Structure 1
Amino acid sequence: MTDLRKKLAEEASQLIQEAETQLPGWAEQRLKKAYHEEEGVAETQIKNILRNLEIAREKNKPICQDTGLITFYIEVGRDLQIDFSIQDALEQAVKDATGELPMRPSIVNPLTRKNTEDNTGQGVPHIEYQPMEGDEIKLTVLIKGGGSENVARQKMFLPDEANEIPGWVVDMVKEAGAKPCPPIYIGLGIGGGLDISAKLAKKALIKEPNTSKGEIGKMENKILKKVNQLEVGPMGLGGNTTALGVSIETASCHTASLPVALNVQCWATRTATTTIEAPK
């Protein structure tokens, strides 16, 4: 085992455990803001979520019993010499984190439903690779539970129907109701193709929402406002906060198409990032 492979596996395992036990600072701040804007049952639900976060952090336990399906986004410096399988190293990281934290085994064969017992399997963890300059590795983990993943949707709009996207998102969130454990985060992938838009929608969930500029930023804010007017509320019990944020990623597409994918994350937006330097 090379030193870099060992370091990648160890730091990836720690990154998973960090994401499983504590939210990004911006996510916790959004929950606290929502708490002050709610009342009654909705306020109680947010209060319980915040208390849950405190306990998870203090006891180093998973935020949610559904410890999810893991996706890695990895950027590898062009100056690095990789003489090992990154896939194998990250699979080992998932196995180690599953045993150490521990995490609930949730990954099964899609047809037989046989559980792999270690949260790895064919194509799991999913890994998105991208080169970058330098001699470091930037690694981001995204963890999603089944409830939020099950309400993902996709639609091939006509090229001139971009103005219909916000309304479609609102309809899909209304249809989902309490299933994705709101308040939710909404990731949208617009453009590319059927497959590309789906990847973009999931990737949108790793960044702080409602931070885009220009027309994309306007659409994010419009969708967030309209979704919260649904009053689905925390855990589907009513209230002002159905969504905590919206993030959009785009790609150029064919002139004859406008693919759009919707991915949803529950309130437990489990993501974390680290930079790994090669051992000297």
Structure 2
Amino acid sequence: MKEIDAGLVTSEVRRLVMEANYHLPKDVADALRKSKENEKWLLATDTLGRIIENAEIADTENVPMCQDTGMAVVFVEIGQEVHIAGGGLDDAINQGIREGYKDGLLRKSVVGDPLARKNTGDNTPGIIHYSIVPGDRLRIMVAPKGFGSENMSRLKMLKPSDGLQGVKDFVIETVELAGPNACPPLVVGVGIGGSFDKVTYIAKKALMRSLDECNPEPFYCDLENELLEKINSLGIGPQGFGGRTTALKVAIETFPTHIAGLPVAVNINCHATRHKEVIL
């Protein structure tokens, strides 16, 4: 049995919260630069240049790349042989979020009640997803999720008869409806299968995958590429100013489902697809 102190979890989450908001992942930064090289529309090229410059300033000066520093989404993989000592894991993670948003001078965007709308003042609670896995490692991934893009995400319970074309139509329609509101170029996470709740989880988890990775199943890898091509042919472009770069990546995750259902979820992320992780 491996023992991990709750205080270490807190300090690591505090660090990840700040680093995720300051430093764009390399795969995302590289995709933005590549898109800029491939753009033909001058306004799109200029817009991508400004996005890249903004990310570089944030990286150099350790300041947030966006004023919406997000609601903290945390994916936790905890080994069966791990014991958290000195406190609860939920409490340790939320304390790390609390400290990270305070010490990092990050905007606090969480309200304690969805209708009363009173700010909690420390960006807690975070959204925490747990998976129990074999082994003695604790993997924590922090992903601040801004709501300009979250608000443009959608779920639809398709019928099996809607089939593949129904899935394609829903993904494209969702991006079209988002238009410039989700700060394109986008990363589009797609969940297919599972249940009403599971499909949204896997759609968001898809956003954590490196932009350099394709779905390991050839069929879904091809579908990712097809959807990306169709999305980029919409002409929405960076920040909605037109061009061929509406999205940087479509990432699909799937899960078995019921014979009577075909759930599909599209979780949209802006160009600032922020996430950092640690393994303890």
Which TM-score bucket, shorter chain as reference?
Answer: over 0.9
Residue 34 of structure 1 pairs with residue 65 of structure 2: no
Q: Any unmatched runs of 5+ in structure 2?
A: none
Question: How far 1:33 moved relative to its partner?
Answer: 0.3
Q: Which residue matches 1:135?
A: 136
Deviation string for 1:9-37 (max 9, x for gaps)?
00111111111111111111100001111
CA separation in 2, counterparts of 1:80 and 1:194? 31
Question: How far 1:79 moved relative to its partner?
Answer: 1.4
Shift in alpha-carbon separation, 1:67–1:112, aligned structure 2, 3 A: same
CA separation in 1, counterparts of 2:134 and 2:258? 30
Which one-letter code corresponds to 2:27 in the other structure?
A: W
User: Is contact 2:24-2:59 (8 Å) kept?
Assistant: no
Deviation string for 1:171-209 (max 9, x for gaps)?
111111101000000001110111111111111111124
Residue 194 of structure 1 pairs with residue 202 of structure 2: no
CA separation in 2, counterparts of 1:134 and 1:194? 30
CA separation in 2, counterparts of 1:157 and 1:78? 36
Q: Which range moved further: 148-157 or 206-215? A: 206-215
Residue 264 of structure 1 pairs with residue 265 of structure 2: no
CA separation in 2, counterparts of 1:69 and 1:125? 7
Residue 247 of structure 1 pairs with residue 246 of structure 2: no
Partner of residue 56 from structure 1, selected from 55, 58, 72? 58
CA separation in 1, counterparts of 2:210 and 2:163? 23
CA separation in 2, counterparts of 1:106 and 1:163? 37
The SS at the match of 1:206 is: coil
Question: How far 1:133 moved relative to its partner?
Answer: 2.3
User: Is contact 1:190-1:259 (8 Å) kept?
Assistant: yes
Q: Which residue matches 1:180?
A: 182
Q: What is the RMSD of the two structures over their aligned residues, measured on CA atoms? A: 1.3
CA separation in 2, counterparts of 1:133 and 1:78? 5
Which one-letter code corresponds to 1:88 in the other structure?
A: D
CA separation in 1, counterparts of 2:202 and 2:66? 25
User: Is contact 1:166-1:222 (8 Å) kept?
Assistant: no
Partner of residue 110 from structure 2, selected from 107, 112, 122? 107
Residue 161 of structure 1 pairs with residue 155 of structure 2: no
Partner of residue 43 from structure 1, selected from 35, 42, 45? 45
Question: How far 1:3 moved relative to its partner?
Answer: 6.4
TM-score (norm 2): 0.94
Question: How far 1:255 moved relative to its partner?
Answer: 0.3
User: Is contact 2:185-2:247 (8 Å) kept?
Assistant: yes
Question: How far 1:161 moved relative to its partner?
Answer: 2.2
Q: Which residue matches 2:235?
A: 231
CA separation in 1, counterparts of 2:141 and 2:159? 34
| Residue identity (%) | 38
Deviation string for 1:223-258 (max 9, x for gaps)?
100000001000001011000001111110000110
User: Is contact 2:4-2:83 (8 Å) kept?
Assistant: no
Which one-letter code corresponds to 1:201 in the other structure?
A: A
What count of residue pairs does the alignment treat as equivalent? 272
Question: How far 1:82 moved relative to its partner?
Answer: 2.4
